[in-house]
Amino acid sequence: MYSAETLESRSEMTNIDTEDTTTATPRDRHSETPPSKVEVRDLRLWYGDTQALFDVNMDIQERQVTALIGPSGCGKSSFLRCLNRMNDLVPGVHIEGRVELDGEDIYDPSVDVVQLRSHVGMVFQKPNPFPKSIYENIAYAPRLHGLVNGRSEMDDLVEMSIRRAGLWNEVADRLHTPGTALSGGQQQRLCIARAIAVSPEVILMDEPASALDPLATATIEELIDELKDNYTIVIVTHNLQQAARVAGYTAFFHLGRVVEFNDTDTLFTNPREQKTEDYITGRYG
């Protein structure tokens, strides 16, 4: 039931002419809209014997913000971690289905997971700077990946990343002091700068502002709005106003399934499913 509805909502989202969905490939059908950056097909996930995701389908649009909402335990983080294979690190996990980044299956055995994670970066709920200087927090991964030649290129990359994360004015004179000495909101922007430093195409954010005060949250939201011009962003949030403010598209998860996925305005103002309406009007969750 849900997968049929999900398909229906996907076809609405991407302006698919429902009459020719059986014949055209997704790419053909997107001829007037850009292709999806990430395509998820029939994704299922188990932790041991317990299934946590059921037949999830989603087309994630390039240079857009997609929000994942739903009650605690519904599978939002599990889904997000599938998009850069972070679940590979969880013992006993089993995943079926497909996740394609630019049409390439990220679960193909030939995929270099370290490379994949440089294309699909992640920002966590709790800011987790390395116990190193601000500069080294940014420089570490580009050095590991051999992305820069020499000190001055690295200086430029560090500055550009911190600027893009909206943190430069606050830290320019203290780049060699510990990242952990920054405020929570600054640490989170440092983590975003660190994610940006390896030039990812997709940035996954799992409740990136939930540990922050309202002012720091507003700063992160403004930043997300700017970043979407260059990056595809998928954000998990419990804050429905935040989803409404930052995301062009929103998926509502419930019990491991996508109940509804649509453009954010439609999902919040005219949800198709009773469950979605119950959740967004605060009747449960």
| Cβ partners under 8 Å of residue 112, min gap 6 | none
CB neighbour list of residue 267: distance below 8 Å, 6 or more residues apart: 250, 252, 260, 261, 276, 280
Bridge partner list, 171:
none
Nearest by Cα to 284 from 1, 72, 53: 72
> Where does the chain show beta strands of DSSP type E?
36-47, 50-61, 65-69, 93-101, 104-105, 120-123, 202-206, 232-236, 249-254, 257-263
158 binds, among ligand ATP, Mg ion, none (CB under 5 to 8 A by kind): none
* Cβ-based neighbours of 91, under 8 Å, separated by 6 or more: none
Q: How far is the CB of 80 from ligand ATP (least distance, A)?
A: 8
- Footprint on residues 147-206 left by Mg ion (CB under 5 A): none
Size of residue set near Mg ion by CB under 5 A: 1
The piece of 12-20, 71-79, 142-150, 190-198 that touches ligand ATP (CB under 6 A) is 71-79
Among 10, 29, 37, 76, indicate the residue that binds ligand ATP (CB under 6 A): 76
Say whether residue 75 binds ligand ATP (CB under 6 A). yes
- Among the residue ranges 70-78, 138-146, 184-192, 222-230, the one whose residues contact ligand ATP (CB under 6 A): 70-78
Q: How many residues bind ligand ATP (CB under 6 A)?
A: 11
Q: Tell whether residue 84 is a contact of Mg ion (CB under 5 A).
A: no
88-107 binders of ligand ATP (CB under 6 A)? 90
User: Could you say whether residue 72 binds ligand ATP (CB under 6 A)?
Assistant: yes
* Residue 232 binds to ligand ATP (criterion: CB under 6 A): no
Question: Tokens at residue 141, please?
Answer: 């991964």
Q: Which two structure tokens, joined as six digits, stand for 104?
A: 């390439």
What one-letter code names the amino acid at 49?
D
Select the residue interacting with ligand ATP from 13, 65, 74, 224 (CB under 6 A): 74
Minimum distance of Mg ion from residue 236's CB (angstroms): 6
Contact between 47 and ligand ATP by CB under 6 A: the answer reads yes
Using CB under 6 A as the binding rule, whether residue 190 contacts ligand ATP is answered as no
Alpha helices, DSSP H only, in 67-109?
A: 76-82
Quick one: how many helices (H) and strands (E) in the chain? Answer: 12, 10
Q: Per CB under 5 A, which region of 31-39, 76-84, 152-160, 258-266 contacts Mg ion?
A: 76-84
Positive or negative: CA dihedral 265, 230, 78, 84: positive
Does 87 sit near Mg ion (CB under 5 A)? no
